[in-house]
Amino acid sequence: MPEFAVPDLPVPDHPDVTVPDPGPPAGHPWTAAMLTGELVPGAPVLGGPTVDSDADGVTDTTVAEVSDELVLATDLDHDGQADAVTRIGPDAVVTAHTGDAEPREHPWDALPLPPAWVDPRTGEWIRG
């Protein structure tokens, strides 16, 4: 009966069973969290984006429930920081963009915004 040589291989006490992080698809950024800063009071960090709002193949929007509001936080430039946030609550819809001095609040019982039109003299859009 032939004998087979068994290679003398080291056997670790605790084998490495971790699975490497697959990382982002080639050419796509990876964000595991959405930083909201002051755009979502009380929730500076949300989960990673799961919605591709502009259909470019890259998820950019996180949908979350914070307190009694539905929050949609969108990262337009894929840097992990929300650039636009819409908070839908029981009393109003609040939208905020990075760099805005104040968020815009539209209460549910408020009259609709007047239609916008172009001033023929200046070419500027005017509302009201």
How many residues interact with Ca ion (rule CB under 5 A)? Answer: 10
Q: What is the DSSP letter of 51?
A: B
103 with 95: CB under 8 angstroms? yes
28 with 48: CB under 8 angstroms? no
What is the enclosing helix (H) or strand (E) of 72?
strand 69-74
Q: Is 56 in the site for Ca ion (CB under 5 A)?
A: yes
Q: Is 81 in the site for Ca ion (CB under 5 A)?
A: yes
Q: Is 52 in the site for Ca ion (CB under 5 A)?
A: yes
Q: Is 38 in the site for Ca ion (CB under 5 A)?
A: no
In the complex with Ca ion, the residue whose CB is nearer, 60 or 69, is 60
CA dihedral angle for residue 44, residue 69, residue 55, residue 113, rounded to 10 degrees = -110
Q: Is 58 in the site for Ca ion (CB under 5 A)?
A: yes
Give the interface with Ca ion as residue ranges (CB under 5 A).
52, 54, 56, 58, 60, 75, 77, 79, 81, 83
